[in-house]
Structure 1
Amino acid sequence: MIITAAEPHDVAKLLAFRDEAATWLRGLGSDQWSRPYPADRLLATIEAGLVFMLRDGHTTAGTITLTPDAEAGLWTNGELAEPSMFVNKLTVAREYAGQDLGGRLLDWAGDRACRAGAHWLRLDAWTTNDALQRYYLAHGFTHVRTVLEGGAVNGGPRVSGWLAQREARVADHGFRDQTPKPERLRFAA
């Protein structure tokens, strides 16, 4: 399998992935990703070079977004001063479930983050999705804290405020990486 930067024509596939994941999650009793994601925001992250596609021949097996920017209101100023990269929208096609492609994508992200000069690979997960939280813990992440205040929608609780991190490190993820070399991070020391 190869990992490549997403291209604008991947928007439809990425939106379909999100719908597929939301349907699967709904079947597990979770409301995660139940709201449609704006295509224009997704296109902007693709054009910024932050979205990556895992391809198995002509089939897209998974996707991950990796950004140097944290979502506002989650991490402390001290944490933001540490060189970090943030995982978002990790999704694996249901037909590839059970192969730990998500874990390998996390390893790839940690490797890329390390090569960019990051010390931490960080993420926020759905606050009520205990299974997802256990998944990240099983993949070497440590729970930092859960942020419940400051939700953006109508002042309600934050739905994706379970914060975790693991050290960014070189990893043998097993993918053929065809992404551009990562830019070095700029951070406050």
Structure 2
Amino acid sequence: MRICSAQPHDLAKLLAFRKEAAAWLSRLGTDQWQRPYPADKLLATIEAGEVFMVRDGNDTAATITLTPKAEEGLWTTDEVQEPSLFINKLTVARTHAGQNLGGRLLDWAGDRGHRAGAEWLRLDAWTTNTSLQAYYLSHGFQYVRTVLLGNAVNGGPRVSGWLAQRATSPAAHGFTDETSTPERLA
């Protein structure tokens, strides 16, 4: 399997991929990702070079967004000053479930972060999805805190504010990495 940067022509595929994941999450009993993701926001992250796809032949097996930008209201001023990369929208196709692709993507992200000069790999997860939280903890992330208020859209309750982090480090992830060398963090 190979990992590559998503391109603008991948937008429809990635939106369908997220819709598939939302349906699966709904069947598990969580309301995570039930609102459609804005296409313009996804396209902006693709164009910024922050969206990556795992390809298995012609199939998209998984995707991850990796950005140096912290979502407003989640991390403290001191934490934002620390060199970090932030994980968003990690998704594995149901056809490829059970192959540890998510864990390998987390290792790839930690390795990429290390090469970019990041100290931390950070994420926020759905506050009510305890299975997802346990998944990240089982992959070496340490719980930081849960932020319940301060949704960037309306100042109301936040649904994705369970924060965790792990140190970046070189890692063997097993993907053929077709991405460009990461830019060094300032």
Equivalence for 1:93: 93
1:51-97, CA deviations, whole angstroms, 9 ceiling, x for partnerless residues? Answer: 00100011110000000000000000111111100000000000100
1:2 partnered with 2:13: no
Equivalence for 1:37: 37
1:99-129, CA deviations, whole angstroms, 9 ceiling, x for partnerless residues? Answer: 1100000000000000000000000000000
Q: Percent identity?
A: 74
Equivalence for 2:68: 68
SS of 2:166's equivalent in the other structure is strand
Equivalence for 1:138: 138
Pairwise CA distance, 1:33: 0.4
Pairwise CA distance, 1:45: 0.5
Structure 1 stretch displaced more, 15-24 or 152-161:
152-161
Pairwise CA distance, 1:155: 3.2
Mapped contact 2:3–2:178 kept (Cα < 8 A): yes
Equivalence for 1:57: 57
Equivalence for 2:106: 106
* CA distance, structure 2, for counterparts of residue 83 and residue 152 of structure 1: 22
SS of 1:184's equivalent in the other structure is coil
Equivalence for 2:181: 181
Pairwise CA distance, 1:151: 1.8
* CA distance, structure 1, for counterparts of residue 45 and residue 90 of structure 2: 14
Pairwise CA distance, 1:154: 3.8
Mapped contact 2:73–2:152 kept (Cα < 8 A): no
SS of 1:132's equivalent in the other structure is helix
* CA distance, structure 1, for counterparts of residue 168 and residue 183 of structure 2: 15
Which structure 1 residue ranges, 4+ long, deviate > 3 Å from structure 2? 152-155
Q: TM-score, normalised by structure 2?
A: 0.98
Structure 2, unmatched stretches of 5+, are: none
